[in-house]
Amino acid sequence: MDLELMINSFPKLLSAAVITLKLLSVSLVIGLFIGLFFAILRLNKNIFINRFAYGYSYIFRGTPLLVQIFIIYFGLGQIEYLRSTVLWVILKEPYWCAIIAFALNTGAYTSEILRSAFQTIKPGIIEAGKSLGISNKVIFYKIQIPIAIRQSLPAYGNEIILMMKGTSLASTVTIMDLTGVAKYIISTTFKPIEVFIVAGGIYLFMTFIIHNVIKFLEKKYSFN
Amino acid sequence: MENFFKIILPQTLRLAIPNLSNVWQITLKDTSLISVTGLVEIMRQSYIAAGSTRDPLFFYSFAAVLYLLLTFVSMKLINRLEVKYSRGY
């Protein structure tokens, strides 16, 4: 064990962890909106809209995140037409490609989580709102969404932690996140165990924080 | 012993199958990560193919379809198991 290397690589890995957190937070925010959008589509009575939303979540939940990143980063660059459009400004950057892949992936899982949360809302609550003369729109925004968010907190916390671990795949498309920097240090020192122990420790610490924040929120917004 | 295998295990299996199926699906998708270490599985093979033919879009999409097929088939099989173990409930 090379303790000196572990201590020396710690600050470098810590600054790389900031990039990991950036990737995570940006893709989670975009993914939450995508998820909410598709969850609402899933509740739609129209069979085509319903099927479309189901197909989206099925494809993104049925294929590995690594494949999705590779298709977006390596695959989309192959289409000549795309290179000439404005989209290419975004798609040539590995950073944005990774964020698009993560957002679409987490959006699919989030839509599934939110959908089941919407479906577990007791109809009595909505009927109570209706009998008070509250409009359907207000019922949806002020009653259904808050309850659904509370209902889905535990599952969403899991999703955040899974996503955080998923961001390590960004290193495969040359992004210098926590795993990317760890790989780089290893390629110069040839000491994978020490560096990965430190990197793993940082991941573990982040999981610990996220887990506790979610637990705190669950307690704060509990029903009783 | 017989008590465990004939009475307790079938009942726990019935309740455990949905969650086990989730774990199965997640692990199935995580096998793609093995490609990083150099073992030639779906992902590694499509990486090699994409590199030599310069056609990443096709090969990665094909890999995605293969994974979809695997998850689809395993889902069907697990559903069948679920039906089998919930007989009589």
How confident is residue B14, by pLDDT bands cut at 50, 70 and 90?
confident
Residue A155: per-residue pLDDT: 92
Q: What residue spans define the domains of chain A?
A: 20-173
Residue A85: per-residue pLDDT: 82
Dihedral (Cα; B75, B79, B81, B84), 10-degree rounding: -170
CA distance A64 to chain B (A): 5
CA distance B81 to chain A (A): 20
Report the mean per-residue pLDDT for chain B: 90
Residues of B in contact with A66 (CB under 8 A): 32-33, 35, 43
Closest CA to A21 of A203, A215, A146: A203
Number of domains in chain B: 1
Q: B56 and A78: CB-CB below 8 Å?
A: yes
pLDDT, tens digit (0-9, with 9 covering 90-100), for B23-46: 999 999 999 999 888 899 999 999
Query: Are A107 and A82 within 8 A, CB to CB?
Result: no
Host domain of residue B24: 2-85
CA–CA dist A55, A51 (Å, integer): 6
Residues of B at the A interface (Cβ-Cβ below 8 Å)?
25, 29-33, 35-36, 43, 47, 50, 54-57, 60-61, 63-64, 67-68, 71-72
Q: Which residues of A170-195 are buried (b: 16+ CB within 10 A; e: fewer)?
A: bbbbebbbbbbbbbbbbeeeeeeebb
Query: Are A189 and A210 within 8 A, CB to CB?
Result: no
CA distance B5 to chain A (A): 33
Strands (E) located in chain A: none
Residue B52: per-residue pLDDT: 93
Q: A74 and B50: CB-CB below 8 Å?
A: yes
CATH code assigned at B62: 1.10.3720.10
Class of domain A20-173 as given by CATH = mainly alpha
Q: B32 and A67: CB-CB below 8 Å?
A: yes
* pLDDT digit string (tens) for chain A, length 224 residues: 788 999 999 999 999 999 999 999 999 999 999 999 999 999 888 999 999 999 999 999 999 999 999 999 998 888 888 888 888 888 888 999 999 999 999 999 999 999 999 888 888 988 999 999 999 899 888 888 888 888 899 999 999 999 999 999 999 998 999 999 999 999 999 989 999 999 999 999 999 999 999 999 999 888 76
Residue A43: per-residue pLDDT: 87
Question: Helix (H) and strand (E) counts for chain B?
Answer: 4, 0
The amino acid at A68 = Q
Residue A224: per-residue pLDDT: 61
